[in-house]
Amino acid sequence: MLRCKDIAKLLSDSLEKELPWTQRVEIRLHLMICYVCRRYWKQLRFLHNCITNYYDKKLDKDPALSQESKKRMQDKIIEEMNK
C-alpha cells in the first residue's frame, strides 16, 4: 500500500511526465479514500496552471529600453568599435 507521502510525490511527478498505469490506478484509489491528498492534488494543479500563466503574461509585457539605456549601450558599442 502506498502512503500519503508516496502519493504526494507521485502526484508532483505526474506534472512532469506520464506515469505508468499501475501507479495511476494506485493514485486514483488513494484519492478516493484520502481527502488531504485530494486537496493537495487540486492545489497542486491550480499552482501548476498559475505558474504557466504567470510566465506567459510576463512574456506579453513589452519592456522597451529607455532612451538613456539605448544611448548608454550604443556609446559602449561605438567605444569598443573604435578601440
Partner 1 sequence: MENKNVLSNPADWVELYGDQLLKYTVARVRHREAAEEIVQETFLAGLKAQKNFSGRSSEKTWLFGILKHKIIDHYRKKEKEQQVSTEDPFVEYFDGRGHWKKSLEKWDTNPQKALEQKEFWEVFSRCISNLPVDMEQVFQLKILDKMDSDGICEALQITSANLWVRLHRARFKMRECLEKCWFMKTG
* Residues found near partner 1 in the complex (CB under 8 A): 3-6, 8-9, 12, 16, 36-37, 39-40, 42-44, 46-47, 49-55, 57-59, 61-65, 69-70, 72-74, 76-78, 80-81
Q: Judged by CB, which is closer to Zn ion: 4, or 15?
A: 4
The answer to whether residue 4 forms part of the interface with Zn ion (CB under 5 A) is yes
Binding to Zn ion by CB under 5 A, coded x per residue (else -) over 17-36, reads -----------------x--
Instruction: Classify residue 2 as exposed, middle or buried by CB count within 10 Å of its CB (0-12, 13-18, 19+).
Output: middle
C-alpha cell at 9: 510525490
Q: Judged by CB, which is closer to partner 1: 15, or 25?
A: 15
Q: For residues 24 and 75, what is the distance between their CA atoms, to the nearest angstrom? A: 59
Q: Which ranges in 15-81 belong to alpha helices (H)? A: 21-33, 35-60, 67-81
